[in-house]
Amino acid sequence: MGTSWIFELEHLRHTPSADQGSELKDELAERSKGVDFLFRVGINLNLTLTPLYTAATYLHRFYMRYSLVDYDYHDSSMACLFLAAKIEETSRKIADLSRMAMTKARNLNIEKHDWNAPDTRKELEKWQRRILTVEEVVIDVLCFDFFVTHPHSGLTVLFESWPEDQQFDEPEFLEATTWTVANDSYRTPICVLADPKVAAYACFIVASQAVGRGAVSDFLAMCDHANTPVPQPSDAEIARSVLNVEHRDFRVVQDCLTLLRDYYSSLPEQAGRFTFVDALASLPLPDQNTEYFPDPHANGHSNGNGREVAGDRTPHGSDGGRTPVFPGPVGA
């Protein structure tokens, strides 16, 4: 992945949406809604997970260059999904995508709804036009840089390469938890803040903490003693070595942990939040004092549509399809 798509955490405070008056917590919530929407549409179109991850990455890249004020997340997320499905060779017809998008946006019963009604046909045509129009803008923004590497490949290598003498008590549970965290990470902008190996490392740290192995504390200790040899390798040190994460990457790992902490801390109780959330939320991360120098960016021009998304559940995530607000340090 080219470095042109890796940003600093502070860049999120200087996005086109921020330039047009959006608060960071609101932008993060809207981005998360867009990812949730494309996940639900894609899963109901029987797409595999890879094009969903790619589409989510496209969406976060898109909103680093264009504003949510100008481009509604429903249209942008569907344009990204339409493009990603083609790139990952799992393409779907625009008519099928538009119908499913309309179904999820309006909470319709796809089997019982009259799709031949004149008003419905007209609305479907609008969906198709918007998706195709925004897809052209997405392609232009991406500069035909369509290839995306996801953290899941690094996680596969990590678990396959884990030392035999350091095996987990319940490896399947840890792997499943890590995959859940990696999937949830797309509801945050981690994919435009960290390269895949660093993102994979952060997701593993959180998952290891979730199953009670204390990886966050171990990582923070590593940050405090970056040049000190580790006498007894911890999960955090072993994963760092296998994934080839450098000590200079620790600051980005901290940024990823901050975003994941804020995400999980904001999940409503009824959404089945993890039992480790309270402990994770209380962990103090190192001070974020490094000065940033945001890159220039371009603003786009289009018209958004303020439609609401139905609240049905999204598989493969911990929040049950309900998009949280992002309080705390990142969204302050």
Rounded distance between C-alpha atoms, residue 33 and residue 309, angstroms: 8
Rounded distance between C-alpha atoms, residue 77 and residue 51, angstroms: 12
The residue to which tokens 């923070």 are assigned: 220
Reading the block at residue 187, the tokens are: 């509801």
Domain with CATH 1.10.472.10 in the chain: 3-142
Q: What CATH fold (topology level) applies to the domain 3-142?
A: Cyclin A; domain 1 (1.10.472)
Please give the chain's pLDDT, 332 residues, in tens. 445 789 988 898 999 999 999 999 899 999 999 999 999 999 999 999 999 999 999 999 999 999 999 999 999 999 999 999 999 999 999 999 999 999 999 988 888 888 889 999 999 999 999 999 999 999 999 988 899 999 999 999 999 988 877 777 777 888 999 999 999 999 999 999 999 999 999 999 999 888 887 788 788 878 876 555 555 678 888 999 999 999 889 999 989 998 998 888 777 764 445 555 555 555 555 444 333 222 333 333 333 333 333 333 333 444 333 322 222 333 33
CA distances to 40, 41, 78, 107, 110 from 125, rounded to whole Å, are 21, 18, 14, 18, 17
Contact between residue 211 and residue 170 where contact means Cβ atoms under 8 Å apart = yes
Whole-prediction pTM = 0.81
